[in-house]
Structure 1
Amino acid sequence: MRFTIAALAALATSVSAVGNAVVNNKCPQTIYLWSVGGSVGNMQTIGSGKQFSEPLHYDPKSGGIALKMTKVNNGLYTGAPQQIFAYSLDGAQVWYDMSTVFGEPFNGQHLTVTASGCPTIDWPNGSNPGGSQVKVCTSDHDVVFTACA
């Protein structure tokens, strides 16, 4: 019985090791961000050269998390163009993508989503270049959105 408990504890520890969702702001202006799942998190202000990070997590109400970004203070509630970096944690995998709503706030600026050793999403001009943007990686990697890459 002790061996089984020890083996289960080791397995639980290895499965629970997850990466982070990171937003790097390399743009000259401030970005405003909300982490949205089954509820809306507090607005985060990310100045030029700064970053935001949260552990990858599963939302039981929505199934996924959308990091919604605007260039306008309180823009989530004013209809401002939103850049969305979304992810869904599925056990040992994390699915991630990028989209926009109400316009393209980073039009003309280079955007990427990267994870070490995993597929990259690349929007060289701040707009969807076409095709599916959904990628998948192991959940122990950080998934990094970079504005003005």
Structure 2
Amino acid sequence: MRFTIATILALAASVAAVGNAIVKNNSNQTLYVWSVNSTIGPQNIIAPGGTYSEALHRDPKTGGITIKITKVKDGLYTGAPEQIFAYSLDGAQVWYDLSAVFGEPFNGQRVTVTSKNGATIDWPKGTNPGGSQVKVTTSTDDVVFTAYA
């Protein structure tokens, strides 16, 4: 019985030990953020200097999570340019990348995705500089998208 309880507690601790996906708005514009997997989460409004955060998680249907960012209220539903900050939690690792659809909303502004133990994705001009944007880090790290002024 003790072994079972200890095993369950260890498993619970390992499941709980995950990082966060964070959007930091260091720009001078309001950002609109949705967490999307097999469903679309509510619109989150991030004022300049604000942040959005969610615990890294996995969708049982799609696997990955996409955080969609626009500069337009309700932009997800109007065809506004979207910055796509995506991640996929895979056991002890989290894979993350950056892309854009319907245009590049941060054209002319620097955007990055960073983590403590993984490589940085850096778009110094807000546009894809080319090459693979997929990176990986440990699942206990925070993965942080930052939009600059």
After superposition, the CA RMSD in angstroms is 1.2
Query: What is the TM-score of this pair, normalised by structure 1?
Result: 0.95
Matching residue of 1:91: 91
User: What percent identity do the matched residue pairs reach?
Assistant: 67
Matching residue of 1:109: 109
Cα shift readout 1:6-51 (whole Å, capped 9, x = no counterpart): 1442244124310000000011000001100000000000000000
Q: Point out where structure 2 has 5 or more consecutive residues left out of the alignment.
A: none
Displacement after TM superposition at 1:101 (Å):
0.2
Displacement after TM superposition at 1:100 (Å):
0.2
In 1, distance between residues paired with 2:25 and 2:91? Answer: 28
Query: Quick one: which amino acid aligns to residue 29 of structure 1?
Result: Q
In 2, distance between residues paired with 1:15 and 1:72? Answer: 36
Query: Quick one: which amino acid aligns to residue 5 of structure 1?
Result: I
Query: What is the TM-score of this pair, normalised by structure 2?
Result: 0.95
Matching residue of 2:13: 13
2:71 matched to 1:74?
no
- The 8 Å contact of residues 29 and 48 in structure 1, kept in 2 or not, is answered as yes
- Secondary structure of 2:34's counterpart equals strand
2:146 matched to 1:146?
yes
- The 8 Å contact of residues 25 and 148 in structure 1, kept in 2 or not, is answered as yes
Q: Point out where structure 1 has 5 or more consecutive residues left out of the alignment.
A: none
- The 8 Å contact of residues 27 and 148 in structure 2, kept in 1 or not, is answered as yes
Number of residues of Structure 1 aligned to a counterpart in Structure 2? 149
In 2, distance between residues paired with 1:113 and 1:28? Answer: 18
Displacement after TM superposition at 1:4 (Å):
4.6
Q: After the TM superposition, which segments of 4 or more aligned residues of structure 1 sit over 6 Å from their partners?
A: none
